[in-house]
Amino acid sequence: MNRAVPFPEAVNRAVRALRPGEVASYGEIAEDVGAPGAARAVGNVLAGCDPTLPWWRVVRADGRMAVGKEEDQARRLRAEGVDVRDGRVRIR
DNA sequence: TATCTGACGATAG
DNA sequence: CCTATCGCCAGAT
């Protein structure tokens, strides 16, 4: 028995499942891959993820952008129709 | 095996 | 609303 799919790969898949305009938090992705509370670990994976992976659809729990990528991420999200206000995704 | 790191999260002040 | 601190997890060294 085998262990579950390697963490980075599982995260990779969860992020790829996100569709344009759809946004999720690191914590949400962590839960999706069966590792609740591993939000930081998810961030570490996205930090070195494949460039083809839509990493910009993953934001902080409070709707803020990834540290160091705020401009780039906000720009990409806006291009998909996401409402970004003052550097953070609009939380309803 | 031990320790440190980080694209996080929640709470306290 | 803001910053500061602690707690969390998986990977890297």
Q: What is residue A90's predicted lDDT score, i.e. its pLDDT?
A: 87
Q: Tokens at residue A15, please?
A: 């992020």
Rounded-to-integer distance, Cα A66 and Cα A83, Å: 16
| pLDDT of A83 over the 70 cut | yes
pTM of the model: 0.93
- Protein residue ranges contacting nucleic strand B, Cβ under 7 Å: A 25-27, 39-44, 46-47, 49, 55-56, 58, 60-62, 66-69, 73
Q: Which nucleotides of B are covered by protein (CB under 7 A)?
A: 5-10
Give the model confidence (pLDDT) of A5-42 as tens digits: 999 999 999 999 999 999 999 999 999 999 999 999 99
Could you tell me how far CA A33 lies from the centroid of its own chain?
12
Minimum CA–C1' distance nucleotide for A51: B7
Residue nearest to nucleotide B8 (CA to C1'): A40
